[in-house]
Structure 1
Amino acid sequence: MTGPDLPTVRLLLRPWTPETAAAVVAGARRDGWAADFPADGDRVVARLLADEPDGPGWGRYGHRLLVERASGLVVGGAGLFPDGDGGLEVGYGVVASRRGRGYAVEAARALVELARAGGVRRIVAGVEPGNDASVRVLERLGMQHTGTVDGVDRYALP
């Protein structure tokens, strides 16, 4: 992904680089990462980015690393990707050591605002049943439950 960091109050949403994706895929450790980064979801994102070097994950609305301003450490990831119906799907994850601080809401809100400012009107999300913390994030964004598809609870901004 190219472009500048997207700042929030407590985070910098930093574009992934091919080098970071390769390090995550290879299982390497880098300076500047929280001790529990990458989490499983970050590994999935890194593999997707590595497999599609020109894919949507590198675009303006692609995936970003969450950098905690106070420590300078990467503490998770968030991103927007095409939903297949002309909109974008928001996804996020914060490492266990930083959960409960509101970082997921802060990051997702910044990405939604970026997308809306760019003219995107359809923004959705999917949550595995039982992931109450993620549901709370989506509800704080103003998203509404729209049903369940293939065992995944679906949400959308009105």
Structure 2
Amino acid sequence: MRLEKILSGPQVEISDYRASDREFCTEMWFHPENGRYLSDPDRAHVDDRFRQALDGLEDNKFGLYCVVRLKNGEPVGSCCLFPDGDGSWDIGYCVHRQYWGQAIGTETVSLLIDYVRSRGGKSITAEVAKANVPSNVLLKKLGFQVEGEGSFSKYNMPVRYDSLLYKLRL
């Protein structure tokens, strides 16, 4: 899937992921601190199956993979959206650690909310590790409500996180 246009906010723009974004994104996702609460593995646990999945992100038929950039074009994060067919969309997001605390995550999720709303979406869901305090605060600030609890594991690693399942009704 592809965005029909660049999503633009005061600080950032969200555009389709391209193969040329892979190095930036994997450095961020696989970093022990930056990717701590993602389901992605650290670099040591990436296998051929995971590499093959990375090779097709720009052409994924089931969802949108995007890169978040400052207005000057510098990449600062990533995000993804997956429609489920009944009007609900699931989102994920990651901000590069160099930009933590600068409202990049809030602006990114706000742009995703606007995008889903413009597509006629009825709700947005997100799963966040309970231990990921900044992300839990961010979602609550934007009106998401906890709908349940769950857990997830990091791919190919013996790391499991208890999680909160959030929902925003549009």
Q: Structure 1 length normalisation: TM-score?
A: 0.75
Matched residue, 2:115:
114
Matched residue, 1:156:
167
Describe the SS at the equivalent of 1:39: helix
Contact 1:49 1:55 in 2 (8 A): no
Aligned residue-pair number: 141
Bigger strand share: 2
Could you report, residue by residue, the CA deviation over 1:72-108 in whole angstroms, capped at 9, with x for unpaired residues?
Answer: 3101111211358652111111111100011111011
- 1:38 equivalent in alignment to 2:28: yes
CA distance in 1, matches of 2:93, 2:85: 19
Instruction: State the 1:38 CA deviation.
Output: 3.1
Contact 2:24 2:75 in 1 (8 A): no
Q: Structure 2 length normalisation: TM-score?
A: 0.70
Contact 1:65 1:74 in 2 (8 A): yes
CA distance in 1, matches of 2:85, 2:54: 18
Contact 1:6 1:12 in 2 (8 A): yes
Which contiguous aligned blocks of 4+ residues in structure 1 show a shift greater than 6 angstroms? none
* 1:105-144 matched pairs, under 5 angstroms: 105-144=106-145
Structure 2 unaligned residues grouped into runs of 5+: 41-49, 152-161
Describe the SS at the equivalent of 2:166: strand
Give the root-mean-square deviation of aligned CA atoms.
Answer: 2.8
With a CA cutoff of 8 Å and minimum separation of 6, indicate the structure with the bigger relative contact order. Answer: 2
